[in-house]
Chains A and B, each alone.
Chain A
């Protein structure tokens, strides 16, 4: 029994390579990436731009196919987008012609449920992200933070158990970002979803993650896989928090830093 589950990891990224054809050139975006993610884990992918963290997330989502290697959930290879994995995009990607409620109901509606059931599910998740007062607003009438709440509720209402988040709070102001980080942790704790969260902020990764996967560019590969065992809620001003943050920053910049040549 134990052996069987050990042999069947929840989400396995096995030897994934990705090469993009750019005109006549080939660009290697990911180089032999291996990663196992456990059910219910909160994993942050962190790295400088161009390290392939977003590409890796898009491969897990099924939007891109790996050039070689595979992504498997309980040993079933991912071949395309599926409702078990929900992406939260940095620029929201809400359907602008649908209201908040209709956006959240989009997934349940595809399943062919009865209208009342669709509405009930949508309302449940709309309330979870605190948008019941904005049910009939269109995305163009919402702030960035509210849009991202809709996007999160939309994938949760679709019963996604893996939340893929591509720098979801990158475009928000600091105050809203903090609030949404807090809400995301609450939702994560309440629903038990698995979260793969791409960010370039060391602080954000330290605050949110159970594990931080540090990636380096040229070509993108996993450089380190660091568990964060701090108690939640985490205190960003505590020495322990700062120590982890400093360690991550060093790993991120170690291969980039070169001694400055002093002018003669």
Chain B
């Protein structure tokens, strides 16, 4: 009560000096000439900050409010229909707690979240890293060297439409019933978005930039390092982000190959045991893990690409 009274009282005082400055000097021009780089007046800055804060609060409320509404709706529908096939959010919450800390169901899944999460992450990032290590250099080569493009493009275009799931039987023959099979499938899924976006990035560099660099004395490998690579970076990052999403999507398929650990295998087990609360728990953990790691990629992306007009935060 007192705090709000104080803050209200200080506001007019803040504005007053700025407002009274104009009439005090009659010779001053009626329109203030503000140099281009002059900082905005304090009251303008405060108002701007207030608006930004308001927008942020509104964004948060909307962003969090919608899933909350969905969860409430889910609960109501389960209760109304009386279905026993789908658990309520509360039951899933309990399962989630048990999965993380144990002490409720005390079964094979209690307190095992870290084991499964780490196992899945190892495969997701193993496959993703392989895809980056192979996709980016290959994309740069295919984009830049015509002979390599002619050599590889038809084959890659032919292999690309094959769904990753179709590779499952072959991958199990190649790599056996283990994590290596999962890594291979994640790699396959992550490889093409990285490759295609890298090729696109290299191929779509503005020719004017090559001309500008050439007249400034840049050529050969320097042209590649100083022009092609930075110009292709936004596109490469696009590919990385897409591929990262695919990698998490494919982990469930990858862990269908009969590995004992991993979030995908938890979901498969839940299905076999008709434990829908376990299935949904696995889904939520994948969703959250994928979301959080995507934020990391976005943060790196915004840092590296702060020059790009699309990335001004």
Contact = CB atoms under 8 A, between A and B. Distances in A.
B222 interface: yes
Contacts of B309: 96, 140
Given A83-B217, A97-B307, A110 B312 contact: no
Contacts of B230: 95, 97
B307 A138 contact: yes
A20 interface: no
A117 to B, nearest CB: 15
Contacts of A94: 212
B206 A93 contact: yes
Nearest to B206: A93
Interface in A60-84: 61-63, 80-83
Interface SS of A by simple majority:
loop
Given A110-B222, A140-B307, A93 B209 contact: yes
B211 interface: yes
B215 A110 contact: no
B211 A158 contact: no
B249 interface: no
A140 B234 CA distance: 14
Give the residue among B206, B217, B233 with the most A Cβ atoms within 10 A.
Answer: B217
A95 B222 contact: no
Interface in B180-236: 206, 208-209, 211-218, 222, 226-227, 230-231, 233
Contact of B312 (A89, A111, A140, A158): A140
Given A96-B308, A140-B312, A154 B216 contact: yes
Contact of B308 (A82, A91, A98, A140): A140
Interface residues of A, number: 32
A93 B211 contact: yes
A81 B233 contact: no
B83 interface: no
B217 A93 contact: no
A18 interface: no
A106 B214 contact: no
A131 interface: no
Contacts of B271: none
Contacts of A260: none
Given A97-B231, A106-B218, A110-B218, A89 B307 contact: no
Contact of A110 (B208, B209, B217): B217
A138 B306 contact: yes
A86 B218 CA distance: 13
Contacts of B217: 83, 107, 110-111, 158
Contacts of B213: 95, 106
Contacts of B226: 106
Contacts of B81: none
Interface of A: 61-63, 80-83, 85-87, 89, 91, 93-99, 106-107, 110-111, 133, 138-141, 154-155, 158, 160
Given A89-B208, A97-B231, 18 more contacts: A83-B215, A86-B215, A86-B216, A87-B215, A89-B212, A93-B206, A93-B209, A97-B307, A107-B217, A110-B222, A111-B217, A133-B37, A138-B307, A139-B307, A154-B212, A155-B215, A158-B216, A160-B215
11 contacts: A61-B211, A83-B216, A86-B216, A89-B208, A93-B212, A96-B309, A97-B308, A106-B213, A106-B218, A106-B226, A110-B216
